Amino acid sequence: MNWLDNIKWDAQGLVPVIAQEQGTGDVLMFAYMNREALQKTAELKRAVYFSRSRNKLWFKGEESGHVQTVHDIRLDCDADVILLTVTQLGHEPGIACHTGRHSCFFNQLQESGGQQQWASVEPVLKDPESIYK
For residue 9, pLDDT beyond 70: yes
- Strand pairing partners for 104? none
Q: Convert 70-85 to b/e letters by CB count within 10 Å (16 or more is b).
A: beebebeeeeebbebb
CATH number of this structure's domain 3-131, picked from the four choices 3.40.50.1000, 3.10.20.810, 3.40.50.880, 3.30.70.1290: 3.10.20.810
- Render pLDDT for 99-128 as a digit per residue (tens, 0 to 9): 999 999 999 999 988 999 999 999 999 888
Of all helices (H) and strands (E), which one includes residue 17? strand 15-21
The reported pLDDT for the residue numbered 25 is 95
pLDDT, mean of residues 32-41: 98
CA distance 80 to 6: 9
Three-class SS state of 37: helix
